[in-house]
Structure 1
Amino acid sequence: MRVLFTSFPGNTHYFNSVPLAWALRAAGHEVRVASAPELTPAITGSGLTAVPVGSAETLQEKTLRSMRERDFRSVEQWMTRAIPSKLHLGQERADDLDWDELAWGYDGFVVPTAKIMNDSMVDELVDFARWWRPDLVLWDAVSYAGSLAAAACGAAHGRVLFSHDIDARTRNRYLALKAEQPEGERTDSMEEWLGGWAAKHRFPYSETLTTGDFTIDQLPESFRLETGLRYLSMRHIPYNGPSETPRWVWTDPAAPRVLMTFGLSSRTQAHLRVLSVAQVQDALDELAGLDIELIVTLPDEVGAQLDRIPENTRVVEFVPLHALLPTCSAVLHQAGPGGFNGSLRYAVPQLIVSLFPDAPIKARALQRAGAGLSIPPAQATGARIREAFERLLGDPSFREGAENLRQEVLRQPAPSEVVGDLEALAAEYGRRDAVVH
């Protein structure tokens, strides 16, 4: 069969799907990967065939332009002002949210962000899908251009999650509250946006444009949210792009190895850097007194701004996490899919310091499993980071909790083991009643 993967141009989101794409390719299926032109090097670097669609404007340029247009001076201000104080997408109970909060959240954050990520790709992606005629479209969970392309050509389609399924849970609450509103006040900016694209390309709106026919979930089952949707469980296999293992990684550390990493996205998108240079310096100074080997990944231009690098610290621009994490005793990260899922896979106790909307629910899941801690970025002083690492390293229950999660991860089927399920789902949901040029 023909399988089309789609992703907005975010490396870590695309990397989340690479092992599955190769499992399908190795099973004999045709695979293409469509995204904005800036992702083409990452796609071809993974050995897969790219289909560039949309404008050459980069994601960072689109994001910063949108922030300027809406008078946001920082990504933190964007997240806190665009979402009302009670509306945290990662909060534990979606049914605590009322209609005004959800509508404001959709109008001010969810849909504008989705437009930034998707709008420029839709027209060309639909044209490609109607020409290539895929049997199955697999789309990163916020890359709705993929669901539109699938509906336009009649293909079965599924989301590939990178985190907890907060979007589906919040959408369920939104639709329930929408039905309770007076008939003239049932606004829905998500349906208006996706419905507008559907009307342009001559097919009807369906809620599957927001949820897919099914969803591939790579989190342990104990972390999952109840949404009523159909899920296909798959083990997370770390992929970090073309990379090499430095020689120092193969040497067993003389002291516990601790990692501080801030994600691939922060290398190219400065507004996503969760800690300031001053905060990083404060943390390094505090951690200098611990008997650890500290590895810090920072862009070279940021590392050059540090005043001091302690003797127990190594600052590098990049190390593939799947090579480094198995050697680590604890990790601080910003709750991105690579750092979070990779740490689960390798049983590393985690310290989350993040601005991402899904970070609170990730942190609570870790804490319930006894496998991690969290600190809000504004409170991430060197002293607090040191205290957290001392707990993670000194209390063996954190390693036990992390190992329990690792065993749960390893019980999930590998990508190669879900290929047959995807073949069946493509046959079950495939439709050939779409408008095709």
Structure 2
Amino acid sequence: MRVLVVPFPWKTHLYNLVPLAWSLRTAGHEVRVAGWPDLLDAVAGAGLTGLGVGPGETPTVRRQRDRRQTSDRAAAARRAPRQGLEPLFDLRPDRARLSWEQACGVFDDLVLPQARRSNDPMMEDLVAVARAWRPDLVLWGAKAFAGAVAAAAVGAAHARVLYSVDVYTRLREDFLHAKARQPPHRRADAMRDWLAGWAARYGVEFCEDLVNGQFTIAPFPEAFRPDARPTTLPVQFVPYNGPAVVPGWLAGPPRVPRVLMTFGDVADDGPVRLPLPLERVREILGSVAGLEMELVLALPPDARRALGEVPGNTRLVESVPLSEVLPTCSAVVHHGGTWSFGCALRHGVPQLLIGRAFDAPLKSGCLDRAGAGMAMTPAQADGPAVRAALVRLLGDAALRANARRLGEEVLAMPAPNDLAHTLREVVAAHRGGAALAPR
């Protein structure tokens, strides 16, 4: 079977796809990764075969271009609080839905502009690659919609691979629910118009599969899949962080409870945007200085230099492989990023989310529902609040037991190797008996 992997054009999104890509390769399938040229070094570094599609830009150049192209309206939408979007993050089965105006605003001001900037430049190249190679299956990272269009253009099965809790399916369903209740002249659907325009170039009619995939591969346990769908295939979250060296201080067990505090890394070769000002970080370190613990604080070099001297129970590092440090930790404080969140789940570590990401409220709600963590906004995260949260994370036996239970649930999910075998059967069913490329 031939499998074309299409990541959203950021290294962290590529890393999310590496374990499954390697599982397919070791199962005997042909695998190629098609991505923006600036991803190809990372693809090769992971031992995979890469194909360049789209512009040859570096992440820094792309960020500068994106800032120039971002409208004032979209920039304001990113900065605006999530007022009115509470239904999107509500876990109750009878939750209210977003209104038409709310759903349109999120799609038109946030989702679609980013999708166009990231997908339009690689669409034609990607379809040409698919037509030349004829994959049986296209695995596209969430938001890499060009993968769905390319798959449809060549009749390949295709799946969306999530990197987080599936907030985008909820958003689309709320949009369609509200759209059906509008008079015909008000049923504008910019997402559909964009994808339908591309699909028509290649003789394909629009269908919702272009938005959410023929099926979805989801990396988190059931509690973190609030809208279960029969077309969802669960898979274990297996971290891949790129090349890493285990530091010497991790060689033995910690003498006191270890806590990791991390606010992201530099996997995408750009500056880390800390959710808290350094003055607040200093305040937090002062507040927790008296706790019997080893606080491992990961910060980029410029922030470490600016932070200055730290308390005796704090170890200041630039970066650390999460899959190595988290098994030694009793708690973790992070910004809600995919790798911190997923690794903590896998290793059964209680979490404190100080979130800024769009999906942070949904992650926080799932953690709270499972009784395995806590959350606060950056504005709430002062010294006393973080100290109180850490005291609870380290001392609440029920919370710690729930975190361990979630870790057991993750490990009980199908591993990528198991899913690799399942995918051949799923692809054969979706292709209606069409012959697959030899293994």
Question: 1:2 aligns to what?
Answer: 2
Task: Please report how far the alpha carbon of residue 116 of structure 1 lies from its aligned counterpart in structure 2 after TM superposition.
Answer: 2.5
Per-residue Cα deviation, 1:148-178 (whole angstroms, up to 9, x for no partner): 1111121100011111221112211211211
Q: Secondary structure at the match of 1:379?
A: coil
Summarize the Cα distance change of 1:221–1:324 in structure 2 as closer, same or farther, 3 Å threshold.
same
Q: Secondary structure at the match of 1:96?
A: coil
Question: 1:12 aligns to what?
Answer: 12
Deviates most, 198-207 or 344-353: 198-207
Task: Please report how far the alpha carbon of residue 266 of structure 1 lies from its aligned counterpart in structure 2 after TM superposition.
Answer: 7.5
Question: 2:341 aligns to what?
Answer: 340
Equivalence map 1:257-272=2 (5 Å): 257-265=258-266, 268-270=269-271, 272=273
What is the CA–CA distance in structure 2 between the aligned matches of 1:188 and 1:67, rounded to whole Å?
Answer: 25
Task: Please report how far the alpha carbon of residue 210 of structure 1 lies from its aligned counterpart in structure 2 after TM superposition.
Answer: 0.6
Q: Secondary structure at the match of 2:96?
A: helix
Summarize the Cα distance change of 1:432–1:400 in structure 2 as closer, same or farther, 3 Å threshold.
closer
What is the CA–CA distance in structure 1 between the aligned matches of 2:241 and 2:226, rounded to whole Å?
Answer: 27
Normalising by structure 2, what TM-score?
0.92
Equivalence map 1:18-417=2 (5 Å): 18-59=18-59, 61-70=61-70, 78-81=77-80, 85-87=83-85, 90-92=88-90, 95-226=96-227, 228-265=229-266, 268-270=269-271, 272-417=273-418
Q: Which amino acid aligns with 2:89?
A: Q
Task: Please report how far the alpha carbon of residue 329 of structure 1 lies from its aligned counterpart in structure 2 after TM superposition.
Answer: 0.5
Deviates most, 204-213 or 89-98: 89-98
Q: Secondary structure at the match of 1:180?
A: coil
Task: Please report how far the alpha carbon of residue 207 of structure 1 lies from its aligned counterpart in structure 2 after TM superposition.
Answer: 0.8
Task: Please report how far the alpha carbon of residue 215 of structure 1 lies from its aligned counterpart in structure 2 after TM superposition.
Answer: 0.6
Verify the 8 A CA contact 1:178 1:186 in the aligned structure 2: yes
Verify the 8 A CA contact 1:4 1:137 in the aligned structure 2: yes
Question: 2:430 aligns to what?
Answer: 429
Per-residue Cα deviation, 1:265-297 (whole angstroms, up to 9, x for no partner): 587333643222222222222222211111111
Verify the 8 A CA contact 2:12 2:268 in the aligned structure 1: no
Q: Secondary structure at the match of 1:116?
A: helix
What is the CA–CA distance in structure 2 between the aligned matches of 1:179 and 1:134, rounded to whole Å?
Answer: 36
Q: Which amino acid aligns with 2:174?
A: R
Question: 2:437 aligns to what?
Answer: none
Task: Please report how far the alpha carbon of residue 227 of structure 1 lies from its aligned counterpart in structure 2 after TM superposition.
Answer: 5.3
| % identity of equivalent residues | 44
Per-residue Cα deviation, 1:233-271 (whole angstroms, up to 9, x for no partner): 111111111111111111211111100111235873336
What is the CA–CA distance in structure 2 between the aligned matches of 1:176 and 1:297, rounded to whole Å?
Answer: 43
What is the CA–CA distance in structure 2 between the aligned matches of 1:431 and 1:305, rounded to whole Å?
Answer: 60
Per-residue Cα deviation, 1:342-392 (whole angstroms, up to 9, x for no partner): 101101000001111111111111112111011101222122211211110
Mark the runs of 5 or more structure 1 residues left unpaired by the alignment: none
Q: Which amino acid aligns with 1:343?
A: A
What is the CA–CA distance in structure 2 between the aligned matches of 1:277 and 1:89, rounded to whole Å?
Answer: 33
Verify the 8 A CA contact 1:243 1:320 in the aligned structure 2: yes
Summarize the Cα distance change of 1:350–1:359 in structure 2 as closer, same or farther, 3 Å threshold.
same
Task: Please report how far the alpha carbon of residue 59 of structure 1 lies from its aligned counterpart in structure 2 after TM superposition.
Answer: 4.4
Task: Please report how far the alpha carbon of residue 339 of structure 1 lies from its aligned counterpart in structure 2 after TM superposition.
Answer: 0.8
Verify the 8 A CA contact 1:10 1:39 in the aligned structure 2: yes
Q: How many residues align?
A: 431
Normalising by structure 1, what TM-score?
0.93
Task: Please report how far the alpha carbon of residue 95 of structure 1 lies from its aligned counterpart in structure 2 after TM superposition.
Answer: 3.4
What is the CA–CA distance in structure 2 between the aligned matches of 1:106 and 1:265, rounded to whole Å?
Answer: 28
Q: Which amino acid aligns with 1:79?
A: R
Q: Which amino acid aligns with 1:296?
A: L
What is the CA–CA distance in structure 2 between the aligned matches of 1:422 and 1:398, rounded to whole Å?
Answer: 36
Summarize the Cα distance change of 1:211–1:138 in structure 2 as closer, same or farther, 3 Å threshold.
same
What is the CA–CA distance in structure 2 between the aligned matches of 1:239 and 1:57, rounded to whole Å?
Answer: 24
Verify the 8 A CA contact 2:89 2:365 in the aligned structure 1: no
Task: Please report how far the alpha carbon of residue 398 of structure 1 lies from its aligned counterpart in structure 2 after TM superposition.
Answer: 1.7
Deviates most, 60-69 or 198-207: 60-69
Q: Secondary structure at the match of 2:307?
A: coil
Summarize the Cα distance change of 1:432–1:108 in structure 2 as closer, same or farther, 3 Å threshold.
farther
Q: Which amino acid aligns with 2:111?
A: V
